[in-house]
Amino acid sequence: KIERLLVASLKNLKDVELQLDLAPLTALMGPNCSGKTTVLHALACVYNPPTLAETNYKFSHFFKPNSDSLWKDSDFSIFYTQRLGANLQNDQKQQYTKRDRWTPKYDRRPVRSIRYVSILESVPEVELMNLNAMVHYTKVSLSSDVDKQVRENAGIVLNRKYDDMYTVSYRYGKSKKSIAVKSGSLSYAALSMSSGEQRVFKLLEAVFGSPKSSLILVDEIDLFLHQDALERLLRCLRDHCSKEKKQLIFTTHFPPIARMYKDISVLTLQRLKDRKIGRAHV
């Protein structure tokens, strides 16, 4: 697990230290342009995925060189603990810097499963479809233990009973996959879901479907969600992450989350007059 993030310089973050191991769930709060999403982008890139099937997040995905900045002199470190078989390694440190290229090389990073859920993944499915005709798809029932957990917890969060969940394959795109659900006599695919309903299933799938001891990063976790649903979602995620030794770090602009400090570690980033970012506090 990651214990601390120490940033010397990264985008608009200067001299920032974040303690990230105080609870299974960590909320990053603060005003716009305070660097919350930058923290997530940095953390997404610090590990090497254990399998080729998992996404290999690289700094070039998030810190793209451009006409105004090449991101030179970026410098931050993580402090972490890892277990290799029966060998527990405490007080590990890995520094990441960029001069001409980012170091260390990607295959020399520590190994861990990472899942990053961006805002783009939560765009309502109906808005992504470039079709003006009948939408054809096929459904296959999902029955794995993870699928059942997702379906049951979605029911808790949304105060609704889901009797079945399906994987959906659209005819117009062989690579296009989605979900559908059944509630009572009503069956419908994600393109007919509300934005909040889609968001809940997306987040539950990301967290519950990640391997044990994973790091999951979510940008704007409160997007599209009513306060009551969000609080129920966070409790479901807290219970799951505690049991499976996962770390979930997310950004939010939703003030009531600060009241959940008994369940969630709440860190706040603050902007100072010189545009540097103050030390985060719990």
The residue-averaged pLDDT of 123-128 equals: 82
Longest CA–CA span in the chain (Å) reads: 60
Q: What angle do CA 214, 281, 35 make, to 5 degrees?
A: 65
Predicted local confidence at residue 104, as pLDDT: 96
Burial of 90 (0-12, 13-18, 19+ CB in 10 A): exposed
pLDDT band at 188 (very low <50, low <70, confident <90, very high): very high
Amino acid occupying residue 54 = E
pLDDT exceeds cutoff 80 at 241 = yes
SS (H, E, C) the chain: CEEEEEEEEECCEEEEEEECCCCCEEEEECCCCCCHHHHHHHHHCCCECCCCCCCCCCHHHHCCCCCCCCCCCEEEEEEEEEEECCEEEEEEEEEEEECCCEECCHHHCCECCEEEECCHHHCCHHHHCCCCCCCCEEEEECCCHHHHHHHHHHHHHHCCCCCEEEEEEECCCCCCEEEEEEECCEEEEHHHCCHHHHHHHHHHHHHHCCCCCCEEEECCCCCCCCHHHHHHHHHHHHHHHHHHCCEEEEECCCHHHHHHCCCCEEEECCECCCCCECCCEC
Whole-number pLDDT of residue 280: 47
Higher pLDDT, 258 or 16: 16
Q: Which pLDDT belongs to residue 260?
A: 86
Handedness of CA 116, 119, 123, 129 (dihedral sign): negative
Segment 149-154 mean pLDDT: 97
User: Quick check: 42 pLDDT over 50?
Assistant: yes
- At residue 174 the predicted structure's pLDDT band, cuts being 50, 70 and 90, is low
Question: Which pLDDT score is estimated for 281?
Answer: 45
Kindly indicate the confidence band of residue 262, based on its pLDDT and cuts at 50, 70 and 90: confident
Confidence of residue 193 (pLDDT cuts 50, 70, 90): very high
Q: What is the pLDDT of residues 58-92, one digit of tens each?
A: 999 999 999 999 999 999 999 999 988 889 999 89
Quick check: 271 pLDDT over 90?
A: no
**Can you tell me the mean pLDDT for 248-261?**
90
pLDDT at residue 140 is higher than 90: yes
The mean per-residue pLDDT over the stretch 186-213 comes to: 95
pLDDT-derived band at 270 (thresholds 50, 70, 90) equals confident
- Residue 6 — φ and ψ, nearest 5°? -120, 115
Burial 168-205 (b: 16+ CB within 10 A, else e): bbbeeeeeeebbbbbeeeeeebbbebeebbbbbbbbbb
Q: Is it the case that residue 229 has pLDDT exceeding 50?
A: yes
Average pLDDT of every residue of the chain: 91
pLDDT at residue 274 in the model: 61
Residue 54, pLDDT above cutoff 80: yes
What is the structure's pLDDT at 213?
95
